Amino acid sequence: VMGQSGSGKTTLLHCLAGILPPTAGQVIFNGNDISALSDHERTKLRRTQFGFVFQFDQLIPELTSEENVAIPLLLNGQNRKTALATAREWLTLVGLPEVAGKRSSELSGGQAQRVSIARAMAINPTVLFADEPTGSLDSLNGEKVMEIFLDTVRSRGTTLVIVTHEPRIAAYADREIIVRDGLVAGRQGVLR
């Protein structure tokens, strides 16, 4: 989803993810209108089916990287030992096994964003929503993050919905939706 700042990209993402109700239309996921679900059902859907990565990492600074990655697993009822083992696996998959015991406050921006990807993917989501995930990174780290996104979602069969205002990031997409003034202004590409 591409558009300038303030065009409505994040609002659209929040509607798709069931965080905000749409003011018009419906968001259908697995045959269900997300807006028609109860708060409890939407929360469960987000915890079990959707992963989230934001522009700023949203990690808890007092926790280690592996503890941050384990949070959604623990919230979904996994025991601590298994959750931490899964977290370490994901940190390895994003190329950061060495930061497992480091507090997130000790990480560089690029490392923190990769830990965020590991946290989002740890539940094996059906859909991964990413809101300007490279916006706070330099171009080199932005490229690394995008490569990790693509490798991870393609190997797992996860759908990636990414919001950006950067054409170089949008170029990674199979399909592009352009948002302007809160409306879909155009579409490009085909599903591969």
pLDDT tens for the chain, 192 residues long, are: 988 888 889 899 999 999 999 998 999 999 999 999 999 999 999 999 999 988 777 899 999 999 999 999 999 999 999 999 999 999 998 889 999 999 999 999 889 988 998 999 999 999 999 998 888 778 887 888 888 888 888 888 899 999 988 888 888 888 899 998 888 888 876 444
Is residue 103 classed as helix, strand or coil in its secondary structure? strand
Task: Report domain extents, the chain.
Answer: 9-189
Orientation of helix 109-121 relative to helix 65-75, angle to 10°: 20
Distance CA(171)–CA(68), nearest Å, equals 30
pLDDT of residue 192: 41
Query: Is residue 89 within 8 Å of 118, Cβ to Cβ?
Result: no
pTM score > 0.95 for this model?
no
Distance CA(45)–CA(158), nearest Å, equals 15
The arrangement of secondary structure in 9-189, i.e. its CATH architecture, is: 3-Layer(aba) Sandwich (3.40)
Among candidate residues 25, 24, 22, 27, the one with its CA nearest the CA of residue 11: 22
Where do we find the tokens 């370490």? 88
Distance CA(40)–CA(73), nearest Å, equals 18
Rg (CA), the chain: 16
Among candidate residues 150, 105, 100, 122, the one with its CA nearest the CA of residue 52: 122
Query: Is residue 52 within 8 Å of 120, Cβ to Cβ?
Result: yes
pLDDT of residue 4: 85
